[in-house]
Amino acid sequence: MNSPKLDTGMTAVYWDTNGNEIRQYNEGVLNTVFVYNDWYDYIASTESFATDNTTSKWANAVTADGSYWVWIPRYAYSIGTGYHTNTSSPIHIEFMKGITQETALGTIIINSSLGQENFNIHPAFRYNDGTEKMLSGIWVAKYEMSNNGTKAVSVPGASSWKNISIANCFTNSLSINLGLNSHLIKNSEWGAVAYLAQSKYGRNGVQTSWSDDYITGGIAEESTTGNNYGIFDMNGGLWEYVAAGLNSNVENTFGSANAKYYEGYSSYGDRYGDAVFETSSSSSDSTSWHSGRSRFISSGSSFFRRGYNDCLVASLFAFNSDDGGAYDSISFRSVLWGAL
């Protein structure tokens, strides 16, 4: 597995058995209590599918502004019986060696397309700025973003930032940390978290508990690992805008210079890895895994939102369309690539 990439201003963090937070550095001073081997451990469940796994410790880090981020290492995946149905199934995952085509188990990955049992390197770990380039992993905001009065931050116990348009979600995400390539989470990056959470390295097919408020964080069962080490607020709480929409709209809204930070669609079956076509049976109603909403974008509602704020159709796999406006039911989440 690719080790977490700590850039300047990032500090590793974990929690001891009493729930106390242990940081690698405190105000720039090395913490002698910090034990590197306790930082993370992506533990694979050995139990049968749909038996909860709450032992995996995804790597966490804090940036200088106090924001928390969770490392999603580059991996390949395949989906079996649940592919393009409304019934969830195991997602087989193998972590990659660096930015090569080889997994840690020695499998060479050649697929890059939709298809049941296709073994794909997840597309969240590549981008194109004129040439295609690879990432060893990504840092995803641990919480929905909130407004600290100056900028967007990812911190627990705060009111989620709502009543903000998708264009402003995009702009505010870019300005979080230019040096670390901060940006609004893309659909594929949302999918990368959802697939890892569904796998034996996450909740092993158990849906995260639904959050019924708009305060970031919550109880352990609401995270993608069922403990403090996962990502929160992805099921319930507020909808979240992602940097994805119809091809005809995304460039005008986000700008051609930022093309590596957003994804355009022309149809429901356009992409893989995004927890849309692969994990739903139709582009309407509520046919996503774990009974999530499944409404694809259209000309009048051309941007994606994910997660949902209604317990009946909320899911990590839920997707819906929107016009990109500012509403009190929609927030957002950011991602760091680190220095490239």
Q: State the DSSP code for 311.
A: T
pLDDT beyond 70 at 283: yes
245-260 average pLDDT score: 96
Whether the Cβ atoms of residue 193 and residue 234 lie closer than 8 Å to each other: yes
Per-residue model confidence as pLDDT tens digits over 200-243: 999 999 999 888 789 999 999 999 999 999 999 999 889 999 99
pLDDT given at position 312: 67
pLDDT beyond 90 at 159: yes
Among 152, 151, 154, which residue's Cα sits nearest to residue 142?
154
Task: With residue 332 as reference, give the H or E element that holds it.
Answer: strand 330-332
Among 196, 199, 222, 198, which residue's Cα sits nearest to residue 71?
196
Give the largest Cα separation in the chain, rounded: 56
Count of positions (residues) in the chain: 340
7-11 average pLDDT score: 95
For residue 52, give every residue at least 6 positions away whose Cβ sits within 8 Å of its Cβ, in sequence order, or none: 203, 204, 206, 226
pLDDT given at position 194: 98
pLDDT beyond 80 at 161: yes
Residue 302 is encoded by which pair of tokens? 């051309």
Q: Which amino acid is at 221?
A: E
Per-residue model confidence as pLDDT tens digits over 290-337: 999 999 999 999 999 999 766 667 899 999 999 999 999 999 999 999
How is 80-149 classified by DSSP, letter by letter? -TTTTSSS---EEEEEBSTTSSBBTTSPBP-B-S--TT--EE-GGGEEESSSEEE-SEEEEESS--EE-S
In this prediction, what percent of the chain has a pLDDT beyond 90? 93
Residue 62 sits at φ, ψ, to 5 deg, of -120, 135
What does the mean pLDDT of the chain come to? 95
Three-class SS of residue 65? coil
Per-residue model confidence as pLDDT tens digits over 162-205: 999 999 999 999 999 999 999 999 999 999 999 999 999 999 99
106: left (phi over 0), alpha (psi -120 to 50) or beta: left
How is 249-294 classified by DSSP, letter by letter? HHHHHH-GGGGGG-EEESSTTS-SSSSSSTTBS-SSSS-BGGGB-B
Q: What is the pTM of this model?
A: 0.97
Three-class SS of residue 198? helix
- CB-count exposure of residue 253 (10 Å: 0-12, 13-18, 19+): middle
Q: Taking the CA atoms of the chain, what radius of gyration do you get in angstroms?
A: 18
pLDDT beyond 90 at 340: no
What's the CA gap between 205 and 195, in Å, rounded?
A: 10
pLDDT given at position 63: 97
pLDDT given at position 236: 81
Whether the Cβ atoms of residue 4 and residue 40 lie closer than 8 Å to each other: yes
CA dihedral 16, 338, 185, 141 (to 10 degrees): 20
pLDDT given at position 334: 98
Per-residue model confidence as pLDDT tens digits over 84-103: 999 999 999 999 999 999 99
pLDDT given at position 313: 72
